[in-house]
Amino acid sequence: MATTASRNAKRLTRADRERAREAAASANATMDLRPVGTAALVIVGVLALAFVAGMLVPGGGTFGGPLQSDRLEGGSTMSVVEKTKGRPVTFGLPVPWNASAGTAELQGLTPIGADGVEVIRAAAVPIGAAPVATRKGFPPDAAVLSELENFAVPPGNDDSDGFQIVVGLKGEGTVDGFALTYRVGGAMHVAILGHGAMLCTKTCSGQDEAEASQRAALASLSGFVSGPAR
């Protein structure tokens, strides 16, 4: 059984939050804190993301928590999804098992570094159900999905207790990853999920550049992230 010791992480400072406010204002960032499915939370830039997490995590603390992977940029993936022009795709997003002793309740999902890609809807695959494959079209055929908001994730022991979020994406471009907001008891957490997608039609090109950009973005966040050793 894996331990739940956390790695040291850089805590957000007042200066970090001031720089985030300036970055968000200069980029005309739109911040809507309602869960995906009602409206998407759009975050522009790493510092703006740090600012939002400083508001959501008590005391301006760190990203992470018991749903955080212990390998961020090192364990990142970029899935290339060929799509039909004008149609959305289904993206299967894996989430690590709950390493806490309490039930985690999901609150919302936010795209990170989205360029030309928009989230239509995010939903949870019931724990123990067969995973949903990444594919053309959304919603996925014959899949039983649960509302993301307040979806309960019980404590787990190993990788077999992980679960999946299904994300409907549209557009053409890339998304570097996702920020998953959730609550355990009275504490709010923001896990950074380093699984991105590249949507394109017919011949896809630029995957190497997209992966390099994704790793750089995740590396810039890793100093703020604290997760359990798995």
Given this model, what pLDDT does residue 204 score?
84
Given this model, what pLDDT does residue 174 score?
95
Given this model, what pLDDT does residue 49 score?
53
Given this model, what pLDDT does residue 34 score?
34
Cα(95)–Cα(189) distance, integer angstroms: 14
Given this model, what pLDDT does residue 17 score?
43
Given this model, what pLDDT does residue 203 score?
79
Residues 6 or more apart in contact with residue 205 via CB below 8 angstroms: none
Q: Taking the CA of residue 206 as centre, how many other CA atoms within 13 Å lie in the half-sphere pointing to its CB?
A: 12
Given this model, what pLDDT does residue 48 score?
52
Q: Can you read off the two tokens belonging to residue 156?
A: 């787990």
Residues, the chain, total? Answer: 230
Cα(89)–Cα(68) distance, integer angstroms: 25
Q: pLDDT tens per residue, the chain (230 residues)?
A: 333 333 444 444 445 444 444 443 333 333 333 334 333 333 444 445 555 545 444 444 458 999 999 888 888 999 999 888 889 999 999 999 999 999 999 999 999 999 999 999 999 999 888 999 999 999 988 778 999 999 999 999 999 999 999 999 999 999 999 999 999 998 899 999 999 999 998 878 899 999 999 999 888 888 888 889 88
